Amino acid sequence: MQGFEQRETPDIAAGGASGRQVRIRHHPRDGSVFLDDDYLVRGVAGGILVKLVREYLATGRQDFSTRELRLAGTELRLPELHDNLSVRLGLLQQRLRERAAPLQLARTGRGRFRLQVHGCLTLSLTRMA
């Protein structure tokens, strides 16, 4: 069984991926995330990306804080002690940058960051039987 959410974004000239259709696939069992058919990340970092994309698709919101991610700790499978959230965000940011993905994370201040989206995202959640 799969669930789908979709939201179109305005064309953005910067980044070169303007208007591109991007399918984000999430496997909740291990938290793995794929951009189109390419593996991106898994675990907590994958859960973070899916949470951000879900919020973006539902509300159009692009600005987030580390505090709200910490408050969603159990949903993201963050350990109670030593969550290393900044390291996990850094890993996610690095992976997105390395793949020149049509979505990026940009730090906007202390404990704040923005999900930059260049194109049309589709999020699919794959549930294993």
∠ CA 96-94-6, rounded to 5°: 25
pTM recorded for the entire structure: 0.78
Q: Tell me the pLDDT tens digit for each residue of 88-98.
A: 899 999 999 99
Strands (E), the chain: 2-7, 21-27, 32-35, 38-41, 63-65, 103-109, 112-117, 120-126
The whole-number pLDDT of residue 32 equals 93
Low-confidence ranges of the chain (pLDDT < 70): 1-18, 73-74, 78-83, 128-129
pLDDT given at position 1: 40
Q: Residue for token digits 């704040």? A: 112
